[in-house]
Amino acid sequence: MNINTVYPLVFAIVSSLMVGCAQVGPSSIQRDLGMMSVRKDMQDYVRVRDEFIQYARSRDASGMYSLMSPFGYDQNAMYEFYDNEIYPFFADYKQVVSPDVFNMVTDEDGNPGYTIYGFIETTNGKRKPYAMAIVEKGKRLAVKNIVINRCFNGLHADC
């Protein structure tokens, strides 16, 4: 046997032994695509959370209400809630502090979303917990609910 026939033979044997060993199956591709879409989803949810916080910091009731309006809440009641609860909570806001915990939820109509459990840090270094439910409603992300100053064991770190 000469070298010109040995290399093709070795290549054929090695290639046949490796079939399936290094292949990426459809399930792993689908899993990776799913993980990428979840990461994108998380960024979208964080963006809506941050937008709501910015409206709260600037005392922009119409901005906050626009993020909650798909749920049909009474506008006057929501403005009162913002005045009494939301504005004081975010009055001395400095930043959101990690880590956030995302918990999948659905609303009463079966629309998917996440509740973000996290903390804000105040200008004097105090950490305050919040939970914000953000749901896909009418082909957009909307804030379903926000709970402030309540720590949820197992969902907030350091409770």
pLDDT of residue 26: 40
Q: Which of 136, 137, 157 is nearest to 40 (CA)?
A: 136
Q: How confident is residue 22, by pLDDT bands cut at 50, 70 and 90?
A: very low
Classify domain 28-148 at the CATH topology level: Nuclear Transport Factor 2; Chain: A, (3.10.450)
Work out the angle at residue 118's Cα, subtended by the Cα atoms of residues 48 and 143, and round it to the nearest 5 degrees: 30
Residue environment code for 79-118, b if the CB has 16+ CB neighbours within 10 A, otherwise e = eebbeeebbebbeebeebeeebbbeeeebeeeeebbbbbb
Mind spelling out the 3-state secondary structure of 118-131?
Answer: EEEEECCCCEEEEE
Structure tokens at 52: 């709501």
The model's confidence at residue 41, banded by pLDDT at 50, 70 and 90, is: low
Amino acid occupying residue 68: M
Residues 93-106: tens digit of each pLDDT: 999 997 899 999 99
- Alpha-carbon distance of 27 to 85, in angstroms, equals 47
| Whether pTM exceeds 0.85 | no
